[in-house]
Amino acid sequence: MHGAPRLTFPCASEYLWHAREKAYQDHRRKVQSAQPLVDTRAPLTFHHLHLKLKRLKLEEERLSVIERDNRLLLEKVASVMRTRGQTDSKNNSKHRSRK
């Protein structure tokens, strides 16, 4: 049977044991004072990728068409209001019988 593991250092001299112990203590101190290195900031945004010029141009053209249609409709409504909305409802066609 094996006995309990021995907690001995493979170093033969006291000087090597102290050097190894000092290195281990330096390591422990560095681990304790370590700062997190994870970057939690938002990624950089490039405005030339977010600014879609083609989409802006199409939107501007669409809005100009809407403005033109609105202006024409307003002119028609104003014309109806000026003429008091009179319509020609006379039927000039003659009824023909099919014989």
The tokens describing 88, both together, are: 């020609």
CA–CA dist 40, 38 (Å, integer) = 6
Write down the number of H helices and E strands in the chain.
Answer: 3, 0
What pLDDT, on the 0 to 100 scale, is given for residue 61?
97
pLDDT by residue, tens only, the chain of 99 residues = 444 444 555 556 888 888 899 999 999 999 999 988 888 888 888 887 778 889 999 999 999 999 999 999 999 999 888 887 666 667 777 777 776
For residues 23 and 17, the answer to whether their CB atoms sit within 8 Å is no
The Cα-based distances of 36 to 27, 28, 42 in angstroms read 17, 16, 17
| Predicted structure pTM score | 0.40
Amino acid (one-letter) located at 37? L
